[in-house]
Every structure is written in C-alpha cells, then in structure tokens.
Structure 1
C-alpha cells in the first residue's frame, strides 16, 4: 500500500521521467552572473545601490533603493552628490563634498578606471578615495579601482597612509570601514 501511495505521489508531481538530460533554454551555468532584468519589468525602488558615506571618521556602506541598476557613472555621480537629507540627519557626510575631484569613470574588464582632475591635498583625502573605491568595488562588475590623472596612473593613499598607483580594493580601506 505504501509503495502504491509513493508511486502516485511521485508520478503526480508533474516532473516527467526522462531517460536523458534535457537542455535548459537559455543555458544556465551555476555561478554565472544573472542576466539583468529589463528595467521596464522592475518595480520602483527594487534595485539596491550601495554607497560608502562617512560618519565619525569611518566609512559606512549605505544602501539606497533605486528603480533600475545604476551605471558606473551614475553610481559615482550619486556618491559625489553626497548624502540625502535623511542620511545627513542620521549623521552621514562625505569627504567628497565641495570637490570636483572626479572627471569620469569607465570599466576596463573588471577594473573601474576613475579619471581625476586637479587634486588639492585635504586632511580627509584617505576617506575620499576610500569612499570611491569601496562604492565602486561594491558592484558585481568591479573587482578593483584605478585612478588616472592626465592619462597617467595617480598615486592615492590607502588607509595605512601608504601611496599606490596600483589597483585598489575594499581591503585597502578595511580598517576604515564600520558597520552602521
């Protein structure tokens, strides 16, 4: 009796018993990035954009809800615009405010290449570069971030105070990152 019930349950679950594997259309590879959903099908505010802002001298990841995935330039522009009024009321600021440090950004493979204009030395320069690196590195399509000035690699400070013109990651600013 139990075998009959089990047979009926398995036979009635809607999964056909094939002797050979079926192909999935479109093919899916485990671990591959998901195909982006068309912006028209996303409900408003369904995409999370992560920006790193400053509070009490620390970098803190803040998530904002937006209507569609942000381009590299859009996410950078959102960072440069600074905290929203609500974020400001919660004590967030930005080391990038009042600067025209960034000219633009482009993706080269998995590297975000950020073009920097004339820089002025500030005491919060490490936080400013940390905000940019951590924000862009939070994207799925960015593994690291490089800075260029006048077409040449620019040396920027890491959290430990050392300068580098090599690509940077969030790990270079880990000791400045705080949970909310």
Structure 2
C-alpha cells in the first residue's frame, strides 16, 4: 500500500510540475501562434474575402474559370464591370487574357427574372481581337455563374442581338454556359 501511495504522490508531483500554470480565469494571448497550419492537399494561403466572384478569361483557345475573393458579393452590374476590366496583374502573369475589346466597357446589364439582359454597345472597328465567340462566352459563363442568373440575352439599341455560340451558330435567344462548354478548360 505504501508503494501505491508513493507512486500516486509522485504522479501528482509530476503533473503539478509539468509547466502548465493554473489560473483563476483565462489569460490573453500576447502573440498568436504561427498559422494557419495546412493539412496535406490544402492551399497554404487563402486570399482574403468572404465571397467568391467567378469570372471567365481566356488562355490560348480556352475559357478559364477564375475565382476572386471579395469582402462583398458584387451586384450583377459590378460583376460585369469586373469582367470587362480584364484580368488583374497576377492573372495576366498566369497567361490569362480577355477577348472583350476595350470599347465594350460601356455594356450594361439588368436582370429580368432569372435572365440577364446585356445592352451591348455598337460594334467598334479594329477592336483588337476577332474571336468574338470568346467575348460572348466570357460574359455568358461569368453571369450564369451567379445563382440568380440562369441565362443571358444580348441587346443592341433595344433589339435582340445575334451572337455566336461555340459551334459557330448564331442565336438571339437566351444563352447559357452549356452553349460554350466546348470552349472551357476541362475540369
């Protein structure tokens, strides 16, 4: 019995002297620990922002999905403005471009139910690129990535505009990302 009592007393002394002080209330942490501590397969640095804004840009002959992190989810017109502004410096360094000519910055958008109607400005000669299918694909895929947008229609001067689909056919009707799936990077 004395051996058990001695072992128990020794165990109490070891636990009491392990270096963890006992406090009556929580203490403030002076310096937070380094982190985050990634697990295998996770990104080490997550960009700031609570919301994801999905944009589509072009690399070579493919549409590429880009997710940007923002503090606020932009309204549909702001979302289109971000797309029309083109890739940021890091995205350009990653080889991304846009098929949207600079003159398209005047495009406007409004929601009619679950359809986005994009008012496209008059065509500008020598806009820099001739792959307008990618320009329309970027707009359609970007806007239909929003939960409230199911399809996109294009107007010019209030009239429906025929725009190319990925298969080369022209359509006045509402378009969806499915109309451009052949242009997207697989994955």
- TM-score between the two structures when normalised by the length of structure 1: 0.73
In structure 1, the partner of 2:97 is 93
2:52 to 48, 52, 55: 48
Q: How does 1:66-85 map to 2 (within 5 A)?
A: 66-85=70-89
| Alpha-carbon separation, structure 2, partners of 1:98 and 1:148 | 18
- The alpha carbon displacement at 1:179 in A equals 4.0
- TM-score between the two structures when normalised by the length of structure 2: 0.70
- The alpha carbon displacement at 1:57 in A equals 1.5
In structure 2, the partner of 1:104 is 108
| Alpha-carbon separation, structure 2, partners of 1:175 and 1:169 | 12
- The alpha carbon displacement at 1:120 in A equals 3.9
Q: Which runs of 4+ in 1 moved over 4 A?
A: none
Q: Deviations over 1:49-79 (max 9, x none)?
A: 0000000121011000001111000100000
Secondary structure in structure 2 of the residue aligned to 1:131? helix
In structure 1, the partner of 2:30 is none
* 2:177 counterpart of 1:177: no
Q: Deviations over 1:1-34 (max 9, x none)?
A: xxxxxxxxxxxxxxxxxxxxxxxxxxxxxxxxxx
Q: Deviations over 1:133-153 (max 9, x none)?
A: 000000000000000111110
User: How many equivalent residue pairs?
Assistant: 137
* 2:159 counterpart of 1:152: yes
Secondary structure in structure 1 of the residue aligned to 2:63? strand
Structure 1, unaligned runs of 5 or more = 1-43
The CA RMSD over aligned residues, in Å, is: 1.5
